[in-house]
Amino acid sequence: MLISAQFDGHASADEQARLQQHLGECSACRRYAAELRCLRNDLRRLELTPPPSEMSSDIVAALQYEARLQAKLARQRADRLDMWRMRIFSQSVGTVVSVTLFFFLMLEIVRPIQRAFAIQRAFEIAKVAAGEAGYLDNYDEARKLADLLLPPLPNNPRPVFIPQSVLLGLSNSFSEGDVLVVTVDVWQDGRGLVKKVIDPPQDPSLIPRLSNALYVKASFHPAARRGRFIRSDAVLMLSKVNVTG
């Protein structure tokens, strides 16, 4: 560093004295100083060659061409990105619309099927009840009773009780004038469990039998909201009624 500083005229008198003393003792630094001195003299003898007049205009033209090329590539990348975004968006919208139409179509197909099964089940229950009442050969009476038992279409705010044969026979265990009032937890599949006994019967064994009957076989048309069955509570009252005649 002191050798370069001396050549550039930036070394102080004290630094030059210490450098000369070191050069007198170190042959390697003397060779390095001699090489720098020769290189310095060779550089001073070089002549400055002015650049051609058209060089600056060529550089400017090359820079402008590179700038236009980069701008073109950036526009192409942006156009490709916009195209992919539009394609993905259109495909997504198409998929959502297709899935929505599919589910809507399936609901429109399944609902009549479910309604038909419900009608058939209600009519079978009605025939059993009509038989118990003595209307074995009366189709009109069974149809009227089936209409009463038939659950309403979905979107009903409350569950609808559909007594099955097990529940219809459960009243045979009731005593005369005996009444059973319970709250039932009705699930989305129509099954239920006794939640709370409000008015217990004289026979305590009726409670677990009722709860088991409600759980084993669906005895409710569940409540629905916005086209979907929901879990809800129902108040169920059972009593023994004797029909004469």
Domains of the chain, residue spans: 2-43, 153-239
How many other CB atoms are found less than 10 A from the CB of residue 176?
8
Q: In which band, very low, low, confident or very high, does the pLDDT at 162 lie, cut at 50, 70 and 90?
A: confident
Please give the Cα distance from 23 to 2 (Å, whole number): 11
Q: What is the pLDDT of residues 28-63, one digit of tens each?
A: 888 888 888 888 888 878 777 777 777 777 888 888
Q: At what angle do helices 13-25 and 27-45 cross, to 10 degrees?
A: 120
pTM as predicted:
0.36
* Amino acid code (one letter) for 91: Q
Structure tokens at 238: 């059972």
Question: What is the pLDDT, as a whole number, of residue 185?
Answer: 92
Question: What is the pLDDT, as a whole number, of residue 144?
Answer: 54
CB-CB contact of 150 with 122 (8 Å): yes
Q: What is the pLDDT of residues 192-221, one digit of tens each?
A: 888 888 888 887 888 888 888 888 877 787
